[in-house]
Amino acid sequence: MGRWEPGARERLERAALELYVERGYEQATVAEIASRAGLTERTFFRHFADKREVLFSGQSELLETCVNTIVGAPESATPLEAVAAALQATSARFEQRRELSRQRQTVIAAHSGLQERELLKLASLASATADALRRRGVAEPTASLTAEAGVAVFKVAFERWIGEPGGQTFSELIRDSLDHLKAATAG
Amino acid sequence: MGRWEPGARERLERAALELYVERGYEQATVAEIASRAGLTERTFFRHFADKREVLFSGQSELLETCVNTIVGAPESATPLEAVAAALQATSARFEQRRELSRQRQTVIAAHSGLQERELLKLASLASATADALRRRGVAEPTASLTAEAGVAVFKVAFERWIGEPGGQTFSELIRDSLDHLKAATAG
């Protein structure tokens, strides 16, 4: 088995999610994950610090995409338009991963420690988004409120997306959820 | 010391928050809290299950106020108006507690386990709010989006309120934050 097994990271992730769903997150071991992926434990630890990191390793990339898109949005963009562009930019990395995302959500929903971790992740996303808006010169409380509204749209669109097999894309559901939010807060 | 010491609960809460701020949440003991309040440990445990419950005991009341206000709002109220009324209804219990609320926030910000617990509390508030809206016949995704927007307003207004000594009331800041959210999502 080569040191740089091609696709090892993806195989480990798929194997881990399958095992977490089948046997429960607490019960699954790194040895089992590696074995199901046809790799060694050493290879697992080359890619992930522990069992939990398989579920949360995409976080920093998500934050970075979001912040860069907001900071780089055209000067003419309103705060909400900048946040909408950021959500659209994040959607690309999800579209091919609906089944994995659904498995991940099942595992997280079954484990309160993972739920808390997921909520912290979303809170970090809101706080990084507000910070990026302030760097564009958006004043408070608009920066924080727009950021929180953006995360709300992300959450709701994500739940709709993983709950609707074969339905709309994540990108379409972000747009649609944003339209519903605008309608709900108008008038 | 009487079994039903008048004001015991409030005295214990004040003593606990003072100690958590001064000595750190982890370090403070129930014995110290009771002693500072001039009460016994037995009295403490008659009011709170543990040290953490002093910080989170108001949660079920907050949820109840919110849900009852939404379900009982006039039929003509829009989803956002029903949520706004619920936030206003919750504000009454905070107005006299600004200093306690500020101390509580300081303690929570310093302790990641408490932060996660606080985020779970806000997530429960959003989920109970969405549920109450659905009971009014509000469809998805509007129910969830309006609920999340309401919690965003609550969070931002709360942070502004504890950060502005002698400034606007919590009720005024809820109204103002909601107006800012409407402006940010309009057009």
Model confidence pLDDT, tens digit, residues A21-39: 999 999 999 999 999 999 9
Where is pLDDT greater, at A63 or A2? A63
- CA dihedral sign of residues A73, A67, B149, A114: positive
Provide the residue count of chain A. Answer: 187
| Interface residue ranges in chain B relative to chain A, Cβ cutoff 8 Å | 78-80, 112, 115-117, 119-120, 123, 140-142, 144-146, 148-149, 151-153, 155-156, 159-160, 176-177, 180-187
Closest of A102, A100, A106 to residue A21, by C-alpha: A106
Residue corresponding to tokens 């740089």:
A4
Beta strands in chain A, from DSSP E residues, in sequence order: none
Q: How far is CA A119 from CA A113, A126, A152, B50, B71, in A?
A: 10, 11, 12, 24, 27
What's chain A's average pLDDT? 93
> pLDDT tens-digit profile of A158-174?
999 998 777 899 999 99
Burial tier of A131 (Cβ tally within 10 Å: 0-12, 13-18, 19+): middle
Q: DSSP secondary-structure letter at A111? A: -
Of A141, A160, A184, the CB nearest to B142: A184
Residue corresponding to tokens 């709309």:
A168
pLDDT at B58: 85
Closest of A158, A156, A150 to residue A127, by C-alpha: A150
Non-local CB neighbours of A36 within 8 Å, separated by 6+ positions: A15, A18, A19
Query: How near does any CA of chain B get to the CA of A58, in Å?
Result: 20
- Judged by CB atoms closer than 8 Å, whether chains meet at B119 and A117 is answered as no
DSSP string, B79-102: HHHHHHHHHHHHHHHHHTTHHHHH
pLDDT at A4: 62
Percent of chain A with pLDDT over 90: 85
Phi-psi region of B147 (alpha: psi -120 to 50; beta: other; left: phi over 0): alpha
Quick one: which H or E segment has residue A89? helix A79-95
Of B120, B156, B177, the CB nearest to A116: B120
Percentages helix, strand, coil for chain B, rounded to the nearest 5? 75, 0, 25
Nearest CA in chain B to A78: B184
Rounded to whole angstroms, the Cα distance separating B100 from B85 reads 24
Phi-psi region of A27 (alpha: psi -120 to 50; beta: other; left: phi over 0): alpha
pLDDT at A1: 46
| Residue intervals in chain A for CATH 1.10.10.60 | 8-54
Residue type (1 letter), A105: Q
Q: How far is CA A181 from CA A70, B5, B55, in A?
A: 20, 49, 32
Name every chain A residue with its beta carbon within 8 A of the beta carbon of B80: 184-185
pLDDT at B31: 96
> pLDDT tens-digit profile of A67-125?
999 999 999 999 999 999 999 999 988 998 999 999 999 999 999 889 999 999 999 99
Rounded to whole angstroms, the Cα distance separating B180 from B183 reads 5
CB A111, CB A26: distance < 8 Å:
yes
Rounded to whole angstroms, the Cα distance separating A34 from B89 reads 53
Nearest CA in chain B to A147: B152
| Residue intervals in chain B for CATH 1.10.357.10 | 58-185
Per CATH, is A58-185 categorized as 1.10.357.10? yes
Rounded to whole angstroms, the Cα distance separating A29 from A54 reads 12
Rounded to whole angstroms, the Cα distance separating B116 from B122 reads 10
Cβ atoms within 10 A of the Cβ of A74, count?
Answer: 8
- Judged by CB atoms closer than 8 Å, whether chains meet at A145 and B152 is answered as yes
- Judged by CB atoms closer than 8 Å, whether chains meet at B120 and A119 is answered as yes
Closest of B24, B30, B61, B29 to residue B48, by C-alpha: B30
Q: Along the 187 residues of chain B, how does pLDDT read in single tens digits? A: 445 667 999 999 999 999 999 999 999 999 999 999 999 999 999 999 999 999 998 888 999 999 999 999 999 999 999 999 999 999 988 998 999 999 999 999 999 889 999 999 999 999 999 999 999 999 999 999 999 999 999 999 999 999 877 789 999 999 999 999 999 999 6
Query: How near does any CA of chain B get to the CA of A184, in Å?
Result: 7
Closest of A119, A185, A157, A78 to residue B149, by C-alpha: A185
Per CATH, is A8-54 categorized as 1.10.760.10? no
Question: Residue A3 pLDDT more than 80?
Answer: no
pLDDT at B3: 56
Rounded to whole angstroms, the Cα distance separating B142 from A176 reads 11
Query: How near does any CA of chain A get to the CA of B155, in Å?
Result: 9
A90's tokens: 């994040």
Residue corresponding to tokens 């009460």:
B39
| Interface residue ranges in chain A relative to chain B, Cβ cutoff 8 Å | 78-80, 112, 115-117, 119-120, 123, 141-142, 144-146, 148-149, 151-153, 155-157, 159-160, 176-177, 180-187
Of B115, B117, B177, the CB nearest to A141: B177
